[in-house]
């Protein structure tokens, strides 16, 4: 397994009722970029206000608890 940084763009409504676009990064443990993207789609299942904008291999080799 490798770690992948997946960038997700979300559209949220702010306090004034305007649609605001924000980007969030997720660290995903997966075997390939498409597997990492599939895991993100599973996390956001049922949501319609997001787009995956990038998947990059991370230099992180291990996460220690």
pTM: 0.86
CA dist 8 and 25 (Å) reads 6
CA dist 65 and 57 (Å) reads 21
Could you confirm whether domain 2-56 is CATH 3.10.20? Answer: yes
Query: Residue ranges per domain, the chain?
Result: 2-56
pLDDT per position as a tens digit, 21-65? 999 999 999 999 999 999 999 999 988 899 999 999 999 999 998
């Amino acid at each position: 397994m490798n770690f992948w940084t997946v960038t997700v763009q979300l559209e949220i409504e702010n306090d004034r009722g305007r649609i605001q676009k924000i980007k969030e990064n997720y660290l995903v443990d997966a075997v390939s970029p498409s597997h990492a993207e599939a895991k993100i789609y599973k996390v956001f299942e049922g949501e319609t206000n997001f787009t995956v904008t990038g998947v990059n291999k991370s230099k992180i080799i291990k996460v220690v608890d």
